[in-house]
Chain A
């Protein structure tokens, strides 16, 4: 579903991704781990077609980036640590707006369904700026699943959420994964990643330094695996 070969991204002269290779099968849930500054967000922004690669080949669901980005976006859902929502619109208005941008049919019905999914049906007429961070993040997930995308990208979605909001988010993430969607999620929270993902990749110094399937590692060993991966992450070239 996602194939990335020798991806390089530079900001000016500074390389952030240095020949990264990455492959995800359809239906996999990959947790992308790594220290601050490793390039996780940059990598996810390239996959989301928000940033152009400097070099390398990126294919998602058969579409080549950046050439076929517009067609790919219809099959892509993105949740970042920012909600991407308008504070002066209600929850319902925000979803209606995005549904129109995606050209969805039967918008009112779909929006009602999604508000129910993220547990905000009772607050649908409230302005988003009155929502807590957790509620905003739930609505952000609603926005991302509105068009029923095949591939979902989550950039540290648990950032700033309290325990209850995290659990609610995890429930939605499990629902998303259970539907057979392909998910890539960056995270600093190993325990949470261990609970959700079917594979763990460690991004360090601009490359995937290590990768392991959830079935092949005990949860207790994940921290040791992560530390070892960061320590041995090598820079090609």
Chain B
């Protein structure tokens, strides 16, 4: 009788089975699963810390040189650690068929893109929030400057916008671990160059008119590639 009642219940979808509600549900799901497993964050963090540690021993730096190389070292760290996270985030959807579960939901498929992208961005920010103080201590550089934090925010958004799209494509292939960096790095070169130049400019205390063009490039890149990903995602995930 209970079974019959459960099947007879006829839930009607609320109008707010809407875009934002579904995006929030995906982000919540990713964060809740990661809080339990800690697979994604731990691998990203270990990798990121190893990279900055190796650079610390490899480079004999005076105070001026530190400000020059910090932008590059930081973005190499974020980019490589980010690739690990992007791959893992989509692999968990694919391995148990969960991507099909998401695709079966009666929502616009861009919801899935934005949900996954926001989740990936949160993971990037967590890694960056841990890496920055450790880097500051190891290299004796003050990284907690509003300008630099803005550049990290914009660079991460651009990186994740393209990365989430390409990870959705790569995860459908057998060589996904190799394919993602091959596809991703050429496309994010503009964002990485702009982020490195802007970060270095801020750390070297260059005039704002020399830094602003790079920040503008980051903003334009973020807008264009988020829009492109929004338009293409449906085609990428469908057979």
Contacts and interface: CB of A to CB of B under 8 A. Distances in A.
Interface of A: 45, 48-52, 70-74, 76, 78, 80, 82-89, 93, 97-98, 100-106, 110, 113-114, 116-117, 127, 143, 145-148, 171-172, 175-176, 178-179
B103 A50 contact: yes
Given A84-B97, A102-B13, A102-B17, A179 B32 contact: no
Interface of B: 2-18, 21-22, 24-26, 28-29, 32-34, 36-37, 92, 96-98, 100-108, 238-239
A82 B99 CA distance: 11
9 contacts: A73-B104, A78-B100, A80-B97, A82-B97, A85-B96, A85-B101, A88-B32, A98-B105, A103-B15
Nearest to B13: A103
A88 B105 contact: no
A103 B17 contact: yes
Contacts of A106: 11
B97 to A, nearest CB: 3
A93 B238 contact: no
Nearest to A153: B104
Contacts of A102: 13, 17, 105-106
Given A52-B238, A85-B101, A70 B106 contact: yes
Nearest to A104: B11
B106 A97 contact: no
B5 A74 contact: no
A104 B171 CA distance: 30
A104 B17 contact: yes
A101 B26 CA distance: 8
A113 B105 contact: no
A148 B29 contact: no
B104 A48 contact: yes
A175 B106 contact: no
Q: Of residues A52, A86, A98, A127, which shows the largest number of chain B Cβ atoms within 10 Å of its Cβ?
A: A86
A147 B8 CA distance: 11
B96 A87 contact: yes
A165 B101 CA distance: 22
A213 B13 CA distance: 35
Contacts of B98: 84-86
Given A78-B104, A86-B98, A104-B17, A148 B9 contact: yes
A70 B106 CA distance: 5
B36 A116 contact: no
B22 A101 contact: yes
B238 A50 contact: yes
Given A78-B104, A89-B32, A101-B107, 5 more contacts: A51-B239, A72-B106, A82-B100, A103-B13, A148-B10
B15 to A, nearest CB: 8
Given A52-B239, A82-B96, A103 B22 contact: yes
A103 B23 CA distance: 11
A147 B33 CA distance: 23
A147 B11 contact: yes
Contact of A113 (B5, B18, B32, B36): B5
Contacts of A83: 96-97
